[in-house]
Structure 1
Amino acid sequence: MALLELDDVSVNYGRIRALHDISIAVEEGEIVTLIGANGAGKTTTMRAISGIRPLSTGRISFAGDDITKLRADLRVVRGICQAPEGRGVFPGMTVLENLDMGAYARKDRKNLPAELEHVFELFPRLKERRTQVAGTMSGGEQQMLAIGRALMSKPRVLLLDEPSMGLAPQFIAQIFSIIGEINRAGVTVLLVEQNASKALNLAHRGYVLETGSVVLSGTGQELLNDDRVRAVYLGGEVAAS
């Protein structure tokens, strides 16, 4: 049984169907990526998993339990946490205050100092800027903060929505390196990413979404070598990791 499963999930925005009966499985310990063009349904999938967007049909299960109708905040308590598209940091709060907000739902607060130190080990720049107001930080720094804040919830599954969007190349390389490190430390990752080459080189498995449907799936390497993926998402080339 997969840690996280979506079974025939559909999501509507009014009369528009954004997801069409998609089925996705994420095994414990994996990095799984969703790739696709703008409007393919990637962010809607993440919102459905987080509980922000209700399903029209289908079922979501986590660790063997049906969470289809579970409130979003209770999904965080269960171990599902998202670093959203656009980062979504609290601009008027300091780095430390943002990170503390990530732990708002936790009852086991005695371990927070050690976990805060772990976030600072992953992101030394956040430690340097811990008293800085988040709204004055660069995009790359805010992305680090968004991921660090999500980690403070102690997730079993970390949902990352477009972590490289709008970042300079040096930040992109750093973010992907840290995602791999987070996974090696035992956190399962579901990654939505438009940089298909980076995502597939990092991921154990992937799904390709087009207009709200899953059209391809396979290991990261299989999708990197798929002619259709290469033509549409990789510019005809397989980029090295």
Structure 2
Amino acid sequence: MLLEVEGLCVNYGHIEAIRDISFGVPEGTVTTLIGANGAGKTTTLKTVSGLRKVRAGTIRFEGKDITAMSPYDRVKLGISQSPEGRGCFVGMTVRENLDMGAFLRKDRKTAAYREDIDRVFTLFPRLQEREKQTAGSMSGGEQQMLAIGRALMARPRLVLLDEPSMGLAPKLIQQIFSIITEINEQGTTVLLVEQNAAQALKRSHEAHILETGEIVRSGTGAELAGDDAVKAAYLGGDV
């Protein structure tokens, strides 16, 4: 198991945001967390990446306890995040944003680094077209591509994607999800938080449903997509 979360509890002040959740992310998979707004999905990702303190529980990456580890050190281990809201550096160019994603790397003048830039541009040709354009002048969809590309520049073993389809047009949503599948097929494990449950489950090996800070259902993406109760609650009655 690449990532193991066990008995995780996280508070915002006196409010319990996550209550005793446990799940794993097998290496090589797309694992998805779905649920309504406020269910604790984004908090879970932020806690895995080290941006939220743990009240109780354990997080392990490749068997190593990282519960108290800094976000910086988690990136060094191989965990990278594309945050909700994209978080692009709006005054910087596309290339500068991608370079920021690789801030820990010492190989920026090597062929390996150029190969990773080329990989991002192959996944997202629009970014190559906009390489010298500032992120703030780009569309929401282009910024989402940039946020994912920036996360990949850290060469992560595990990439955390938080609501990658939020605010995008239907055609672009399909494109983003196809690229997520491609990223996974290229060898990167994905932990995905997504409101578009139908698209997410279609591409997930494993999935978990959160309600008010607790995991209430788990299964393969196909199992949850085919469950009548899940369909009614999250998929508009159908996939």
Aligned to 1:81: 80
| Equivalent position SS for 1:68 | coil
Question: 1:13 deviation in Å?
Answer: 0.4
| Equivalent position SS for 1:96 | helix
Aligned to 2:233: 232
CA RMSD for the aligned pairs? 0.6
Q: Distance in 2 between matches of 1:106 and 1:53?
A: 25
Question: 1:213 deviation in Å?
Answer: 0.1
What is the 5 A alignment of 1:138-177?
138-177=139-178
**Alignment partner of 1:71 is 2:70:** yes
**Alignment partner of 1:37 is 2:36:** yes
**AA partner of residue 69 (structure 1):** A
Aligned to 2:128: 127
Aligned to 1:54: 53
Q: Distance in 1 between matches of 2:177 and 2:141?
A: 12
What whole-Å deviation, never above 9, does each CA across 1:104-131 have from its counterpart, x for those lacking one?
0123432211100110000000000000
**AA partner of residue 192 (structure 1):** V
Structure 2 gaps, min length 5: none
Question: 1:56 deviation in Å?
Answer: 0.3
Q: Distance in 1 between matches of 2:193 and 2:107?
A: 30
Aligned to 2:21: 22
| Equivalent position SS for 1:107 | coil
Runs of 4+ in 1 over 6 A off after TM superposition: none
Q: Distance in 2 between matches of 1:60 and 1:106?
A: 25
| Equivalent position SS for 2:147 | helix
Q: Distance in 1 between matches of 2:179 and 2:54?
A: 32
**Alignment partner of 1:198 is 2:216:** no
Percent of aligned pairs with the same residue? 62
| Equivalent position SS for 1:177 | helix
TM-score by length of 1: 0.97
Q: Distance in 1 between matches of 2:200 and 2:210?
A: 14
Q: Distance in 2 between matches of 1:40 and 1:76?
A: 26
Q: Distance in 2 between matches of 1:211 and 1:25?
A: 19
What is the 5 A alignment of 1:97-108?
97-108=96-107
Aligned to 2:180: 179
Aligned to 2:6: 7
Q: Distance in 2 between matches of 1:182 and 1:76?
A: 18
Structure 1 gaps, min length 5: none
**AA partner of residue 15 (structure 1):** H
What whole-Å deviation, never above 9, does each CA across 1:42-77 have from its counterpart, x for those lacking one?
000000000000100000000110000000011011
**AA partner of residue 65 (structure 1):** K
Question: 1:232 deviation in Å?
Answer: 0.3
TM-score by length of 2: 0.98
| Equivalent position SS for 2:144 | helix
Question: 1:225 deviation in Å?
Answer: 1.1
